Amino acid sequence: MILIRILFICHGNICRSPMAEFVFRQMAEQAGLAERFDVASAATTDEEIWNGCGNPVYPPAVRKLREHGIDPSGKRARQMTKQDYEYYDYLLAAEQYNIQNMLRIVGGDPEHKIHRLLDYSKHPRDIDDPWYSGDFETAYRDIVEGCEAFLESFK
């Protein structure tokens, strides 16, 4: 069986990308496909990393995940590296701004691995940052939409 490696990316790795990481894991597990995927998440910045230690998932994001039976305990922010491009098959950003920063970090996308998560949906768009909007429900619904469409692409 081929292992598919997925890295979800957002600005700080405390809201959207960890939500996507854990939502996708839950969906893959429920579909009986969990063993096919290696799933993680990262940030394009080091803003949520202090003295080498990443901050945990932002409390409102934790609450939203727990409403849906998902526990992100133990997840800490980490910054994406150039090596991530070599390791992962898909690098899925929350928004176009993340892609610009990802390309700066990795120096280009010759293998076309970098996409927005919602590029897989019927309505491609950015996932608004709930850190600024406070709207974790819309962010969660957008993430579910993107993860469902992305997972469907493997069935």
Residues labelled catalytic: 10, 16, 129
Pairing of strands 53-54, 49-50: antiparallel
Distance CA(127)–CA(28), nearest Å, equals 21
| Whole-angstrom distance, CA of residue 15 vs CA of residue 108 | 25
Tokens 């850190």 locate to 131
CA-closest candidate to residue 72, choices 84, 88, 61, 80 = 61
With 0-12 / 13-18 / 19 or more C-beta atoms within 10 angstroms meaning exposed / middle / buried, residue 22 is: buried
Instruction: Return d(Cα 56, Cα 49) in angstroms, integer.
Output: 10
Answer yes or no: are the C-beta atoms of 127 and 118 closer than 8 Å.
Answer: yes
Q: Is 14 helix (H, G, I), strand (E, B) or coil?
A: coil
